[in-house]
Amino acid sequence: MNKVCFYFQVHQPLQLRRYRFFDMGINHNYYDDYLNKLAIRRIAEKSYLPMNNLLMELIKIHGDKIKICMSISGTTIEQLKWYAPDVLKSFKKLIKTGNVELLSETYNHSFSALADVETFKQQVIKQHKLLEETFEVSPEVFCNTELLFFDDIADVISELSYKACLIEGARHVLGWRSSEYLYSSAANQTLKLITRNVSLSDDIEYRFGNTAWDQWPLTAEKYLTWVDKAFEKGECLTLGFDYENFGEYQIANTGIFDFMKELLRLLAVKDEYELITPSEIVKEFKPAAQLHIPHPITWAGDEKDMSTWLGNELQEDAFKNLYSVSNKMLNCESRELIKDYDLIQSSDNFIYMSTKLFSKGSFARHYVSPYDSPYNAYINYMNVLSDFLMRI
- pLDDT tens for 70-99 read 999 999 999 999 999 999 999 999 999 999
Distances (CA, A) of 242 to 89, 146, 316, 392: 20, 10, 25, 35
Query: Considering only CA atoms, which of 246, 186, 231 is closest in space to residue 52?
Result: 246
**Number of CB atoms found within 10 A of residue 339's CB:** 12
Residue 368's pLDDT band (cuts 50, 70, 90): confident
Residue 361's pLDDT band (cuts 50, 70, 90): very low
How confident is the model at residue 365, as a pLDDT? Answer: 45
**pLDDT digit string (tens) for 142-192?**
999 999 999 999 999 999 999 999 999 999 999 999 999 999 999 999 999
- For 217-262, the pLDDT digits (tens) are 999 999 999 999 999 989 999 999 999 999 999 999 999 999 999 9
Looking at residue 360, its pLDDT comes to: 46
Closest alpha carbon to 100 in 256, 1, 243: 243
Q: Bridge partners of 182? A: 194
Catalytic residue among 146, 168, 180, 205: 146
Neighbour count for residue 3 (Cβ, 10 Å)? 20
**Sequence-separated (6 or more) residues with CB below 8 Å from residue 286:** 182
105 is known as an active-site residue: no
Query: What is the helix (H) or strand (E) element at residue 265, kind and residue range?
Result: helix 256-269
How do residues 107-130 score in pLDDT, each as one tens digit?
999 999 999 999 999 999 999 999
Angle CA 339–342–347, to nearest 5: 145
User: Tens digit of pLDDT for each residue in 4-18?
Assistant: 999 999 999 999 999
Contacts of 179 (CB under 8 A, 6+ apart): 169, 195, 196, 197, 198, 234, 237, 238
CB 77 within 8 A of CB 11: no
Q: What is the pLDDT of residue 362?
A: 44
| In 136-245, alpha helices (H) | 154-159, 171-174, 198-205, 220-230
* Number of Cβ within a 10 Å radius of residue 86: 9
Of 286, 124, 258, whose CA–CA distance to 192 is shortest?
Answer: 286
pLDDT at 367: 61
pLDDT band of residue 369 (cuts 50, 70, 90) is confident
Mean pLDDT of all residues in 313-339: 96
pLDDT at 359: 55
pTM, to two decimals: 0.95
